């Protein structure tokens, strides 16, 4: 039977465990789909945040959203990659989490999402909290309890 110092663990603040904004690959809402697809492909990430010029979170863009957007009736209309903008395709249906939130809140959201966008009180993008980081912390906690 695994014994966790549950309450303490769940009340840990996420702040120290996020990947800071300067290390997070992102695009801006006005960027072309071509730019976004290039960044997604080169970074190897399947989805990255969309920010505005003031670093406020706008949404999420993924390779599958892009390929779906340029899919015509019979073929991929790749010429659209140049003309279409990220804001036309991004999803806003993605939760953000406060920088002040604890592990409990993060775990609940990470069940359905591989990472979370972390925002300040003023809604500025602070970074991301990933499922991988959370699982590592959970593993550490389990093995050392």
Q: With contact defined as beta carbons under 8 Å apart, do 16 and 134 qualify?
A: no
> With respect to ligand AMP, which residue has the nearer C-beta, 5 or 25?
25
**In the complex, least distance from residue 3 CB atom to ligand AMP, rounded to whole angstroms:** 26
**In the complex, least distance from residue 51 CB atom to ligand AMP, rounded to whole angstroms:** 11
Query: What residues make contact with ligand AMP under the rule CB under 6 A?
Result: 19, 23-25, 45-48, 114-115, 128, 130-132
> With respect to ligand AMP, which residue has the nearer C-beta, 29 or 80?
29
Q: Which residue is nearest to ligand AMP (CB)?
A: 132
Q: With contact defined as beta carbons under 8 Å apart, do 99 and 118 qualify?
A: yes
Instruction: Report H helices in the chain.
Output: 6-10, 33-43, 63-69, 80-83, 86-89, 103-110, 131-143
């Amino acid at each position: 039977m695994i014994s966790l110092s549950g309450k303490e663990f769940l009340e840990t603040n996420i702040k120290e465990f996020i990947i800071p904004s300067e290390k997070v690959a992102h695009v801006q809402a006005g960027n072309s789909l071509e730019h976004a697809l290039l960044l997604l492909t080169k970074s190897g990430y399947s989805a990255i945040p969309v920010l505005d010029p003031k670093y406020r979170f706008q949404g999420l863009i993924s390779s599958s959203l892009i390929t779906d957007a340029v899919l015509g009736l019979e073929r991929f209309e790749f010429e659209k990659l140049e003309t279409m903008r990220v804001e036309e395709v991004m999803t806003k249906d993605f939760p953000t989490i406060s920088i002040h939130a604890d592990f409990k809140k993060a775990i609940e959201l990470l069940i359905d999402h591989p990472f979370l966008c972390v925002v300040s009180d003023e809604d500025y993008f602070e970074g991301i909290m990933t499922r991988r980081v959370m699982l590592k912390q959970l593993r550490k906690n389990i093995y050392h309890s």
